[in-house]
Amino acid sequence: MSDERYISEIEDRLREAGAPPTPPARLHAIARAEALGPPDVVDIRSAVRPSSRVGRLVLAAAVLTASAAAALVIGVGGSGFHVDRSLNLQGAGRVASASAVVDVGSSDGPVRDVQVHVNGLPPAPKGGYYELWMQDGSSEPTGLVSFDTSGTGSVVANTTIPRDMPWTKCWVTLERADGSSTTVLRLA
Amino acid sequence: MDLSALSDEDLLELVAERRDGEAFEVLYRRYSRAVYAVVRRMVGDPGRSEDVVQEAFASVWRAARGYRRERGSGAGWMFAISRNAAADVLRARTPVAVGDLPDQADPGLGPEERTAAGLEAFKVHAAVDSLPEREREVIELAYFSGLSQSEVAERLSLPLGTVKTRTRSGLARLAERLADERVVS
């Protein structure tokens, strides 16, 4: 085919195809998390977690109480807490606009302090709660702290991890009253 | 290693065999607009379309091991993944009542023709997004926005000769890729 003819044919194809719509920029992070992140339903049988429905409701109630207390930590938690590493988590699916920063503190004896700053995450459905998880590539996931959010969607939750605890993944799940579990925040 | 020069087929194999996140990223950059365009055309609603695109790329990651280059091009496989993800959403919708069906057949393209036209546009969009940035921007302004080459030069603050060179180089690259995909002869 001559140069002019092939150029003309390509030009025709371009005009026929027209400009594609541009997907929202945030979709990139969501799609990447959806593909590369941990599975939506996490096997947490080995983690500390109540097996009965009553146990779940008791834990959910405890989480609500703890969340109210945790909210008081905002603005105070910086005292004596030295951040060694910060992890950014981004909402997935229906809570795509939610986010969290997980601050892992520097080693202080055998443990490290961990603070989770959550924003834009709606309160868990009745009887449910959120849980922060970490997992090493080969191990079972470890549930680190349970929490819920207030009407503002924000909360600060505190916990500790062993100083040398290995982990490569970090995420937050919604634990529902019926025992099902869905990942709602993943590493950004 | 710069993966952006690799073919779709090579990238899919890297995803399948090495679970290569960077290869997945290149595929996303190359196909996100093409996938979004197909899905928007099928699903309509922007919010639902975003969910479908998300699911489509998750499927690419999960199902890349099922891709066989001897059965067809990577672009064709990506198109099928996108259409299937959109079709899953459409199937979940409430069916149209028989009483709502029109009396006369739609005079427009039939399902097979629509699919063929959609696949061609999909391949064109992906080919444009695989161009080097300097060529892609002049091609898009000229053929998607309808600017003359002088207007493109003014918009990008480039000499007219540079715009002409980049346009021709981009078109030649597109011709090669679209010939491989059998969109042009």
> What's the rounded mean pLDDT across residues B152-161?
92
* Residue ranges of chain B whose CB lies within 8 Å of a chain A CB: 21, 24-25, 28, 32-34, 36-37, 40, 50-51, 53-55, 57-58, 60-62, 120-121, 124-125, 128, 139-140, 143-145, 168, 171, 174-175, 178, 183-185
By the 8 A CB rule, do A98 and A153 touch? yes
Per-residue pLDDT reduced to its tens digit, A58-112: 555 555 554 444 433 333 334 467 888 888 999 887 788 899 999 888 876 777 8
Six token digits for residue A67: 């969340």
Per the listing, tokens 């346009």 go with B167
Residue B125 has pLDDT above 60, yes or no: yes
A133 DSSP β-pair partners: A143, A171
Under CATH, which number does the domain B131-185 receive?
Answer: 1.10.10.10
What dihedral do alpha carbons B59, B60, B65, B67 form, nearest 10°?
Answer: 110
CA distance A89 to chain B (A): 17
Helix crossing, B8-18 with B21-43: angle to 10°?
120
- Cα A187 vs. chain centroid, distance in angstroms? 6
Say which CATH class B1-92+111-130 falls into. Answer: mainly alpha
Pairing of strands A169-175, A129-135: antiparallel
Specify the pLDDT at position B170: 93
Q: What is the DSSP string of B28-51?
A: HHHHHHHHHHHHHHHH--HHHHHH
pTM score, whole prediction: 0.55
- Measured CA to CA, the distance from residue B155 to residue B165 in angstroms comes to 16
Chain A contacts of B51, Cβ < 8 Å?
Answer: 93
- Locate CATH 1.10.10.10 in chain B: 131-185
Closest CA to B155 of B137, B169, B170, B129: B137
CA distance B71 to chain A (A): 24
Residue A16 DSSP class: H
State whether residue A133 is helix, strand or coil: strand
By the 8 A CB rule, do B120 and B34 touch? no
> What's the rounded mean pLDDT across residues A152-169?
80
By the 8 A CB rule, do B53 and B32 touch? yes
- Locate CATH 1.10.1740.10 in chain B: 1-92+111-130
- Cβ-Cβ contacts under 8 Å between A and B: the total is 93
Least CA distance to B119: which residue of chain A?
A17
Among the CATH numbers 3.30.110, 3.10.620, 1.20.120, 2.60.40, which is that of A3-187?
Answer: 2.60.40
Per-residue pLDDT reduced to its tens digit, B33-76: 999 999 988 888 888 888 889 889 988 988 898 898 888 899 99
Length of chain B: 185
Q: Which range, A18-27, B48-57, B146-155, has the best average confidence (pLDDT)? A: B146-155
